[in-house]
Structure 1
Amino acid sequence: MSTAAKTTRVLTGITTTGTPHLGNYVGAIKPAIAESQNPDVQSFYFLADLHALIKCQDPGRVEQSRLEIAATWLALGLDTDNAIFYRQSDIPEIPELTWMLSCVCAKGLMNRAHAYKAAVAENEAAGSPDLDRGITMGLFGYPVLMAADILMFNANKVPVGRDQIQHIEMARDMAGRFNHLYKSQYFTLPEAVVDEKVEVLGGLDGRKMSKSYNNTIPLFVSEKKLLKLVRKIKTNSLEPGEPKDPDTCTLFQIYSAFASAEESAAMRRRYAEGIGWGEAKNELFEYLNAHLREPRERYQALMEDPGHIEDVLRKGADRARAEAAPLMDRLRHAVGLGRFI
Structure 2
Amino acid sequence: MTANKRVLTGITTTGTPHLGNYVGAIKPAVVASRDAATDSFYFLADYHALVKCEDPARVQQSTLEIAATWLALGLDTSRSVFYRQSDITEIPELTWLLTCVTAKGLMNRAHAYKAAVDDNVGASDDPDYGITMGLFCYPVLMAADILMFNANIVPVGKDQIQHLEMARDIAQRFNHRYGEHFVLPEAQVDEHVATLPGTDGRKMSKSYDNTIPLWLPEKKLRKAIMKIKTNSQEPGEPKDPDKAAVYSVYAAFASERQRGEMRQAFADGIAWGEVKQQLFQLINAELEGPRERYEALINNPHKVEQELERGAEKARELSRPFIAELREAVGIRSLG
Task: Report the equivalent of 2:32.
Answer: 35
Number of the residue aligned with 2:173: 177
Corresponding letter in the other structure for 2:59? V
Deviation for aligned residue 1:281: 1.0
Q: Tell me, which stretches of 5 or more residues in structure 1 are unaligned?
A: none
Structure 1-normalised TM-score? 0.98
- Consecutive unaligned residues of structure 2, counting only runs of 5 or more, are none
Q: Which residue in 2 is equivalent to 1:213? A: 208
Letter of the 1:233 partner, please give it: I
Which residue of the partner structure matches residue 225 of structure 1? Answer: 220
Task: Please show how residues 42-57 of structure 1 align to structure 2 within 5 Å.
Answer: 42-57=39-54
2:94 counterpart of 1:97: yes
Letter in 2 for 1:24: N
Provide Cα deviations, 1:110-163, integer angstroms capped at 9, x if missing partner: 000000000001111x43110000100000000000000000000000000011
Match for residue 241 of structure 1 among 232, 236, 241: 236
Choose from 313, 322, 326 the match for 2:308. 313
Kindly indicate whether residue 132 of structure 2 is the aligned counterpart of residue 136 of structure 1.
yes
Aligned residues of 1:329 and 1:338 also touching (Cα < 8 A): no
Is 2:18 the partner of 1:24?
no
Equivalenced residue count is 336
Letter of the 2:144 partner, please give it.
A
Map residues 268-307 of structure 1 onto 2, 5 A cutoff.
Answer: 268-307=263-302
1:337 and 2:332 are equivalent in the alignment: yes
Distance 1:338 1:237 in 2: 72
Give the secondary structure class of the aligned counterpart of 2:76: coil
- 3-state DSSP of counterpart to 1:6: coil
Identity of aligned residues (%): 65
User: In the aligned structure 2, how far is the partner of 1:6 from the partner of 1:44?
Assistant: 14
RMSD of the alignment, in Å?
0.7
Cα shift readout 1:63-120 (whole Å, capped 9, x = no counterpart)? 1000000000000000100110000000000000000100000000000000000000
Q: Determine if contact 1:94/1:152 at 8 Å carries over to the other structure.
A: yes
Task: State the TM-score, normalized to the length of structure 2.
Answer: 0.99
User: Does residue 119 of structure 2 align to residue 122 of structure 1?
Assistant: yes
Counterparts of 1:239 and 1:252, CA distance in 2: 16
Between the aligned partners of 1:24 and 1:6, the Cα distance in structure 2 is 30
SS at 2:201 equivalent: coil
Q: Distance in 1 between matches of 2:333 and 2:204?
A: 48
Q: For residue 338 of structure 1, report the CA deviation from its aligned partner.
A: 1.9
Q: Which amino acid aligns with 2:297?
A: L
Q: Distance in 2 between matches of 1:224 and 1:241?
A: 28
1:122-201 to structure 2, matched below 5 A, reads 122-124=119-121, 126-182=122-178, 184-201=179-196
- 1:257 pairs, out of 252, 267, 270, with 252
- The secondary structure found in structure 1 opposite 2:274 is helix
